[in-house]
Amino acid sequence: MGEVLVAIAGSPNVGKSTLFNRITGGNVHVANWPGVTLQRAEGHIEHHGIKLRVVDLPGTYSLSAQDLGEKVARDFIVGEKPDVLVIVVDSTSLEKSLYLAIMTLELYTRVVIALNMIDAAEKRGIHIDVRGLEAKLGVPVIPVSALKGIGIGVLLDRILDIARSKIRKEPLRVDYDGLETYIHRIEKILRDEGTLKRYPARWAAIRLLEGDEVLLNELREEDPELAERVKYLREKARIDLGEDLERLAISSRYSLIDAVVRSTVTRVKLAAPSLSERLDKVMLHPVLGPLASTLIILVTFFLIFAVNTGFPLNLLFDHLGYEELAGLVEEYSLSGILGTFFDWVSSSMVDWLTSMGYSGWAVGLLSDGIMGSVGTLASFTPLLLMAYVFLGAMQDSGLFPRAAVAFDNLFKKFGLSGRAFFPAALGMGCSVAAVVSTRAMDDDRERMVTAMTSPLIPCQARLLVLLALASAAFSNPLEQSALTISVYLLSFMLYLVTSKLLNKFIFRVDYAPDLMMELPPYHRPSLRVVWWYARSNTEHFLRKAGLLIVGLGVATWFLLNFGPSGYLSDGNIADSFAASIGELLVPLTSLIGLPDWKYALAFEVGFVAKEGLLITFSAITGISDPVEALRAMDLTPLRAVSMALAMNYYVPCLATVAALTTELRVGKYVFLTVLLEMVLALLLAGVAYWAGYLLGLA
C-alpha cells in the first residue's frame, strides 16, 4: 500500500486540531490553502509500516460552502478524494456535533467517526452505544480522547482498514419526507444528462434544492439550460410544500440526529462525592485494591458459572448428599437447557433424515457435523454473553477502571499496564472474550502481547476438565484442591512472565506503556449501557468467528467418522482418520507420559473445545460419567498432573484461534501464539511427569 491520504474534519471546539496534533506528534508543515488566507496544517506519520499524510481541514459546521472554510473543506473532499476522512464529534454534545457528520456521510463514504472527549462524557455520566452508533451511521465509530491519547491506536487501525477498502458502498440516506419527490426528479435529470459527475447525484440534488449557489454556478457553467430547469423545480417545490426548502432539509437531518441520539445515548445518576471517596480509599489502595478487585472477579465468575453450567453449586450439592438437586441445577442451567435443546434437534433431524432415505454418513454430517457444530457455538454463547454482561456492569459502575489502576504497579514489572488486568480477568470465564477485549487497548504492542498471552489463563471449560482430572486421580479433597489452585497460580505467573519475554525478544521493547485512563465516577450500572456492551461484543465475535467454528467442527466430524475404508458405520473411532493422526502424535504425547493414541485423540478433539477431551474418553470407554471414564483409562496421579498441564496450556479451543486471527490480523503472530502454547504445554507437562517419574511417583 502506498501513502495514505487522511483528512480530519470537524466543527469548531470539538478537539479536531488537538486530535490532529496527537496523531502527527508535532511533525507538521503549516502553509495557506491555495488562493486563500486560511492556514493549512499537514503532517506525516507511519503506522504498521504504512505512511500516512494527514491534513487538518478548516473547522466547519456543515458543507454548505456558505463561507470560505466550508468551501475549502468541501472542495478538498470532492477534489482530492482522501483515502480516509476522519470526522471528529464531541461525545459530550452529540446532538450538536453530529450535523457535519450526517451531511458528510451523504457525500462521502470513506469515513471514520472519532468520538472525541469520551473521557469527559463518562465523567458526566453520559454513555454512548458505540456499536449502535456504527450501525446507524454505517461507518466505524472510535471513542477517543485527543487530549489524553486514549483510543488513538485503535483509530489508526480503523483508518488503515478503510484505506484497504473495508468500507460501506453507499452514502448515508436521510429521509427528507416531502422533498423526496423533487430530489428523485433532479437526481434523475443529473444522471441522465451526466452533469456534476464529481458529486453523488442524490447529494447534488439535495444541495441544489437547498439553494447551494456554488453548486448552481457549477451547473450553469456545464449546462445553463439544465440549471434553469433545476431552478424551476426548486421554486415549484417551495410553492407546493409551502416552506423554505433549506429549513426542511435541515429539519430532516436533525430529526435523524435526534433519533440516533435517543437510541444510542443514555445518562446515569452519579454517586455522591463522599461515597466515591470512601470507595476509592479501598479500590485504589496498593494492597487492598488488588485484593478487593480479585474478590470481585471471583464472585463475578462464581455467578457466571452458576447460571451457565450450574458449577460449582452442582458439586457442592452433590458433596452434601443432594444428588437429585445437583442434577437439577446442572440440567436447568443455561448450558444444560441448550444442550437438551440441541440434543432434541439432532435426534429429530436423525429421525426425519432417516425416514427420507438419506444414507448414514449424510445423516451424521447434517445432524452431528453441522448441527453439532452449531450447538457447540450456541453452547458457549451464553457464557460469552454473561461474561460481557458482568464485565459491562463493572466497567459501567466504575469498578473495573480502578482495578486496572490497582494492578498497574505489578503489571508494569512485566512490560504491561493495568489495562492487561481486563483480559486476564475475562480469561477466567472465556478465552475468546479475553482475546476480543484487547481491542480496546490504546497501545498496539500491548494489545498484541496481551491477546497472545491471555489464552494461558484457564477458562471455564478447562476448569471443568481440570476438576474431572483431579477427582479421577485423587481421592483426597486437599490434593484435588492443591492441583487446581497450583494450575491457576502457575497460569497467572506464565501470563506475566510470557508477556515480559514477548516484549523483550519478539517486539524488542523494554518499557511498559503508561496507564492513561480517566476514572469515571461511581454509579449504579445502567441496564441499557450494560446490554449495549454485552450485545455488541458478543455479536462481534459471532460474526467474525462463527462460520470458522462451524466449518472446522464439520472437518473434525469428518476425521472422526471416516477412515481409509470410508464411512465408519459401526462408529469405531479406532479406525478413523482422527485415530490415525492420533497414532502419529503418540511420540509427542509419550514425552509427557501418555503413550496411547486415545490420549492423543482426546487432545485432537480438545482443540475444537476443551470439553471434547471428556467427551472423547466417554466415547472410547462407553462410560457417560467423565470422572469414571478417566479412571477407566488407567489414569495415575502423575499422569493426571501431566495431562492437566498439557490440557491447560495448549491451544484453548478453535474459537480462540478464530478470535486471535481476527484480532492479531497478522498470520505469523497467530502461528507464534499457537506454537508458544504447544511448546509450553509439552515442556511443563514433560518436566512434571519425568521429574515425578525419577522421584518414584509413577
**499-556 pLDDT, tens per residue?**
999 999 999 888 888 887 667 777 788 888 788 878 877 776 676 656 666 776 677 7
CB 154 within 8 A of CB 170: no
User: Cβ contacts of residue 673 below 8 Å, gap of 6+?
Assistant: 451, 452, 455, 660, 664
More confident residue, 677 or 555: 677
The pTM assigned to this predicted structure is: 0.66
If you average pLDDT over each of 423-437, 469-483, 604-618, which comes out highest? 423-437
SS3 (DSSP) at 84: strand
- At 676, is the pLDDT very low, low, confident or very high (cuts 50, 70, 90)? very high
Side chain identity at 332, as an amino acid letter? Y
CB distance 49 to 144 below 8 Å = no
- State which amino acid sits at residue 692: G
Q: Is residue 488 part of a domain?
A: no
**CB-based contact 460:430 (threshold 8 Å):** yes
Are 65 and 131 members of one domain? yes
CA atoms within 13 A on the CB side of 583: 7
Sequence-separated (6 or more) residues with CB below 8 Å from residue 617:
598, 602, 626, 629, 630, 632, 633
Residue 211 lies in a domain: yes
Out of 234, 266, 298, a domain closes at 266
Q: What is the sign, positive or negative, of the torsion defined by CA atoms of 545, 546, 550, 556? A: positive
CA–CA distance, 613 with 684 (Å, rounded to integer)? 19
Q: Is the confidence at residue 674, as pLDDT, over 80? A: yes
Q: Which of 232, 266, 300 is the last residue of a domain?
A: 266
Do 189 and 213 belong together in one domain? yes
pLDDT at 450: 96
Asked, for residue 222, whether it belongs to a domain, the answer is yes
C-alpha cell at 264: 444510542
Same domain, 17 and 129: yes
Q: How many domains are contained in the chain?
A: 2
User: Of the ranges 76-85, 356-365, 561-570, 574-583, which one carries the lowest mean pLDDT score?
Assistant: 356-365
Residue 304 lies in a domain: no
Q: What is the mean pLDDT of residues 41-57?
A: 91
Nearest to 551 by CA among 655, 459, 650: 655
Q: What is the tens place of the pLDDT at every residue in 173-220? A: 999 999 999 999 999 999 998 899 889 999 999 999 999 988 999 999
C-alpha atoms less than 13 angstroms from C-alpha of 221 in its C-beta half-sphere: 7
Asked, for residue 226, whether it belongs to a domain, the answer is: yes
Q: How confident is the model at residue 32 (pLDDT cuts 50, 70, 90)?
A: low
Residues 268-318 have pLDDT tens digits of 776 666 777 788 888 888 888 888 887 887 777 667 666 655 666 666 666
Instruction: Return all residues near 675 (Cβ < 8 A) that are at least 6 apart.
Output: none
383-415 per-position pLDDT tens digit: 667 777 877 887 778 787 888 888 898 999 999
The region of weakest confidence among 34-38, 251-255, 292-296 is: 34-38
Taking the C-alpha atoms of residue 65 and residue 207, their distance in angstroms, rounded to an integer, is 10
Share of the chain above pLDDT 90, in %: 36
Cell of 39: 492556514
How far is Cα 63 from Cα 104, in angstroms, rounded to an integer? 7
What's the rounded Cα separation, in Å, for the pair 131 and 109? 18
Same domain for 83 and 201?
no
Q: What is the pLDDT of residue 253?
A: 95
Of 503, 230, 26, 5, whose CA–CA distance to 18 is shortest?
Answer: 26
**Cα distance between the two ends of the chain:** 58
Can you tell me the distance from the alpha carbon of 374 to that of 362, in angstroms, rounded to the nearest whole number?
A: 17
CA distance 136 to 113: 12
Q: Are residues 102 and 68 in the same domain?
A: yes
**What is the SS3 assignment for 459?**
coil
User: Distance between CA atoms of 650 and 534, rounded to whole angstroms?
Assistant: 28
* Average pLDDT of the chain to the nearest whole number: 84
Residue 424, all three cell numbers: 486476564
- Residue 239 forms part of a structural domain: yes
Q: What angle do CA 166, 171, 176 make, to 5 degrees?
A: 155
Residue 209: which CATH number? 1.10.287.1770
Structural domain range at position 183? 177-266
- If asked whether residues 34 and 82 sit together in one domain, one would say yes
Nearest alpha-carbon partner for 425 in 513, 543, 297: 297
Task: Using the Cα atoms of residue 451, residue 455, residue 458 and residue 459 in order, give the sign of their dihedral.
Answer: positive
Tell me the C-alpha distance between 73 and 62, whole Å.
9
276 grid coordinates:
466515591
Q: Which residue has the cell 486560511?
A: 38
Same domain, 159 and 183: no
C-beta atoms surrounding 360 within 10 Å: 15
What pLDDT score was predicted for residue 331? 60
pLDDT, tens digit, 9 for 90 and up, residues 607-616: 877 877 877 7
- SS3 state at 576: coil
Instruction: With a cut of 90, say whether residue 628 has pLDDT above it.
Output: no
pLDDT for the residue numbered 308: 58
Query: Is-contact 211 249, C-beta < 8 A?
Result: no
The grid coordinates of residue 593 equal: 507420559
Judged against a pLDDT cut of 80, whether residue 373 lies above it is answered with no
Q: From CA 398, how far away is CA 118, in angstroms rounded?
A: 14
Q: What is the CATH number of the domain that holds 138?
A: 3.40.50.300
For residue 143, what pLDDT band results from cuts at 50, 70 and 90? very high
Give the Cβ contact number of residue 505 at 10 Å. Answer: 8
Same domain, 137 and 191: no
Q: What is the pLDDT of residues 648-667, one digit of tens each?
A: 999 888 889 988 988 888 88
Give 355-413 as a 3 state SS string.
Answer: HCCCCHHHHHHHHHHHHHHHHHHHHHHHHHHHHHHHHHHHHHHCHHHHHHHHHHHHHHC
**Secondary structure string (H, E, C) spanning 53-68:** EEEECCCCCCCCCCCH
Average pLDDT estimate for 250-268: 93
- Residue 18 inside a domain? The answer is yes
Provide the 3-class DSSP secondary structure of residue 183: helix
Average pLDDT over residues 582-607: 89
Say if CB 630 and CB 472 are below 8 A apart: yes
Q: Considering 237, 266, 295, which residue would you say is the last residue of a domain?
A: 266
Region class of 652: left (phi > 0), else alpha (psi between -120 and 50), else beta: alpha
Check whether 166 has a pLDDT greater than 60.
Answer: no
d(CA 452, CA 565): 40
Residues 101 and 182 placed together within one structural domain of the fold: no
In a domain, 210, yes or no: yes
345 and 371 Cβ atoms separated by less than 8 Å: yes
Same domain, residue pair 155 and 253: no
**477 against 576, higher pLDDT:** 576
| Residue whose C-alpha cell is 465509530 | 141
213 and 90 part of one domain: no
107 — pLDDT class (breaks 50, 70, 90): very high
B/e letters for 15-33, b = 16+ CB within 10 Å, e = fewer, are bbbebbbbbbeeeeeeeeb
Residues ≥6 apart with Cβ < 8 Å to 263: 129, 132, 136
Amino acid at 647: M
Q: Are residues 188 and 126 in the same domain?
A: no
